[in-house]
Amino acid sequence: MKRTDATPRQPAEAMPDMQQSRDHRKIPIRKVGVKDISYPIVVQDKQHTLQHTVARVDMYVDLPHQFKGTHMSRFVEILNRHREKIALDHLEEILREMQHRLGASTAHLRVEFPYFIDKAAPVSGARSLMEYTCEFDACLEGGRLDFVLGVKVPVTSLCPCSKELSRFGAHNQRSIMTVKVRYRDFLWIEDLVALIEQCGSSPVYALLKRADEKHVTEQAFEQPRFVEDMVREAYLRLSALEQVTWFSVEAENFESIHNHSAYAAVELDRRETEPATAGELP
């Protein structure tokens, strides 16, 4: 029968809640939720106080074995409620609301976003915006908060073997170094990027004039690095930072003379030997 305006609507409270119905397979789910939501956020910027950008957001909770499903719409409702303050200092508040609204003991929030740094070319000083892919990965389990900052940093790497063997020049390529850190106190994205850029043969720039191109080419030639050299350099620099309690570094060279990439990774965990911090973001 065609519904008319006079047809009474079924009260919302009378509708069956299928997500809360009983599941008899007795299998808990570690993560369930929504993935890849495009959303505006605000990030602290060392140069300009705040930077507005657009993130891809993943939100998950755990699901006890007795429930059939979780309420997916509530994730988006929570995100919309915090639309003016999706920033580092509000992540714990969002996670706590996810726990409460979805009846979960663990909540996960992952925010990946492009971050732009105003960067000067090494000789001409020509300024341009350089993009870096960053990530906030936060988890609240019970009352304990875990937070990881991640950033992907492009660098140039020049092959030491090619330089040693070749009569003219040496092959080089663009590389991506992915660093993730847990830390105390505060760590600027800009400072982390600058530290990692020192680990390659030369930094990468969005804009270079001729004098700059000469400089970075010669700098790379004088500072050849294997992919192993790059992660070891990053290890030394990150382990010297007292506020860093854990880190992982990956380096991938997109080889210019091979059809494969070269890869290396290192990790250091100092959390067992240091006082645990819980319940607050750095």
Query: Is residue 116 pLDDT above 50, yes or no?
Result: yes
- Smallest Cα–Cα separation from 140: which of 95, 187, 186? 95
Mean pLDDT of 257-272: 94
> What is the chain's alpha carbon radius of gyration, rounded to the nearest angstrom?
24
Contact 36, 58 (CB under 8 A): yes
Q: pLDDT tens, 11-48? A: 556 776 665 657 678 899 999 999 999 999 999 999 88
Query: Is residue 281 pLDDT above 60, yes or no?
Result: no
Query: Is residue 152 pLDDT above 50, yes or no?
Result: yes
Could you tell me the residue ranges of all domains in the chain?
21-273
DSSP 96-122: HHHHHHHT-SEEEEEEEEEEEEEEE-T
Q: pLDDT tens, 54-105? A: 999 999 999 988 888 888 999 999 999 998 778 888 899 999 999 999 999 9
Mean pLDDT of the chain: 90
Q: Where are the alpha helices (DSSP H) in 166-208?
A: 189-197
Task: Determine what percent of the chain is predicted with pLDDT higher than 70.
Answer: 89
* pLDDT confidence of residue 262: 96
Give the whole-angstrom CA distance, residue 116 versus residue 132: 6
The model's pTM: 0.86
Give the whole-angstrom CA distance, residue 121 versus residue 207: 7
Please state at what angle helix 189-197 crosses helix 227-239, rounded to 10 degrees.
140
Q: pLDDT tens, 120-151? A: 999 999 999 999 999 999 999 989 999 999 99
* pLDDT confidence of residue 275: 47
21-273, CATH topology level: Urate Oxidase (3.10.270)
* pLDDT confidence of residue 69: 83
Q: Are strands 127-141 and 144-158 parallel, antiparallel or unpaired?
A: antiparallel
